[in-house]
Structure 1
Amino acid sequence: MRVLLIGASGYVGSAVAEHLSSLGHEIVTLERPGAATGASGYETRTGDLADPASLIAAVTSDIDAVVNLATPSGDVAVDAAAVTALTDPLRGTDRSFVYTSGVWVLGATDGADETTPTNPIPIVGYRPEIERQVLALADTGVRAAVVRPGIVHGRGGGIPALLVDLARKHEAPVVVADPTVVWPMVHIDDLADLFAKVIAAAPAGSVWHAISEPAVPVAELATAAGRVAGVSGATKVWPLDQARADLGELFADALALSQTVTGQAGIDQLNWAPKGPDVIADLTSGSYR
Structure 2
Amino acid sequence: MKVLLLGATGYIGSAVSERLTGAGHEVVALLRAGREWPGGESRVGDISDPASLTAAVTDDIDVVIHAGAPAGEAEPGVVEALLAPLRGTGRAFVYTSGVWALGDTDGLADEDAPVSPPPIVASRPAAEALVLAAAGQNVRSVVIRPGIVYGRAAGIPAIFAGQAGRQGVARYVVTEAGADAPHWSTVHVDDLAALFALAVERAEPGALLHGVAEEGVSTKDFAEAVAKAAGADRVEPWPVAEAAQVLGEPFARALALDQRVSGARARGLLSWTPERPGLLDEVLTSYAPA
Identify whether the pair has TM-score above 0.5, normalized to the shorter chain. yes
Structure 2 partner of 1:213: 214
1:119-156, Cα deviation, whole Å (9 max, x unpaired) = 11111112101110111101111011100000011000
Show structure 2 runs of 5+ residues with no match.
none
Structure 1 partner of 2:123: 126
Q: CA deviation at 1:169?
A: 4.1
Structure 1 Cα separation of the partners of residues 244 and 185 of structure 2: 22
Q: What fraction of aligned residue pairs are identical, expressed as a percent?
A: 46
Structure 1 partner of 2:96: 100
The residue matched to 2:208 in structure 1 has which SS?
strand
Structure 2 Cα separation of the partners of residues 221 and 125 of structure 1: 27
1:209-244, Cα deviation, whole Å (9 max, x unpaired) = 0011001111111111112221144x2112221111
Structure 2 Cα separation of the partners of residues 36 and 219 of structure 1: 39
Structure 1 partner of 2:147: 150
Structure 1 partner of 2:35: 36
* Contact 2:76–2:123 (8 Å) recurs in 1: no
Structure 2 partner of 1:87: 83
Structure 1 Cα separation of the partners of residues 283 and 254 of structure 2: 21
Structure 2 partner of 1:181: 182
* Contact 1:155–1:288 (8 Å) recurs in 2: no
1:40-92, Cα deviation, whole Å (9 max, x unpaired) = 322100111121221121111111100001111222xx322221221111111
Q: CA deviation at 1:269?
A: 0.7
Q: CA deviation at 1:179?
A: 4.5
Relative distance call for 1:179 and 1:162 in structure 2 (3 A) is: farther
**Letter paired with 1:92:** G
**Letter paired with 1:268:** G
The residue matched to 2:153 in structure 1 has which SS?
coil
Structure 2 partner of 1:64: 62
**RMSD between aligned alpha carbons?**
1.3
Structure 2 partner of 1:236: 236
* Contact 2:75–2:124 (8 Å) recurs in 1: no
Structure 2 partner of 1:283: 283
* Contact 1:104–1:121 (8 Å) recurs in 2: yes
**Letter paired with 1:50:** S
1:73-123, Cα deviation, whole Å (9 max, x unpaired) = 222xx3222212211111111111011000000010131001111111111
The residue matched to 2:260 in structure 1 has which SS?
strand
Show structure 1 runs of 5+ residues with no match.
none
**Letter paired with 1:183:** W
Structure 2 partner of 1:24: 24
Q: Given the alignment, which residue of 161, 164, 168 partners 2:165?
A: 168
Q: CA deviation at 1:166?
A: 2.5
Structure 1 Cα separation of the partners of residues 243 and 183 of structure 2: 18
* Contact 2:172–2:181 (8 Å) recurs in 1: no
Structure 2 Cα separation of the partners of residues 270 and 140 of structure 1: 23
The residue matched to 1:231 in structure 2 has which SS?
coil
Structure 2 Cα separation of the partners of residues 73 and 194 of structure 1: 23
**Letter paired with 1:165:** G
List structure 1 runs of 4+ shifted beyond 4 angstroms: none
The residue matched to 1:111 in structure 2 has which SS?
coil
Structure 2 Cα separation of the partners of residues 260 and 50 of structure 1: 34
My pick for the range that moved more, 97-106 or 78-87, is 78-87
* Contact 1:104–1:120 (8 Å) recurs in 2: yes
The residue matched to 1:259 in structure 2 has which SS?
coil
* Contact 2:182–2:218 (8 Å) recurs in 1: yes
* Contact 2:75–2:123 (8 Å) recurs in 1: no
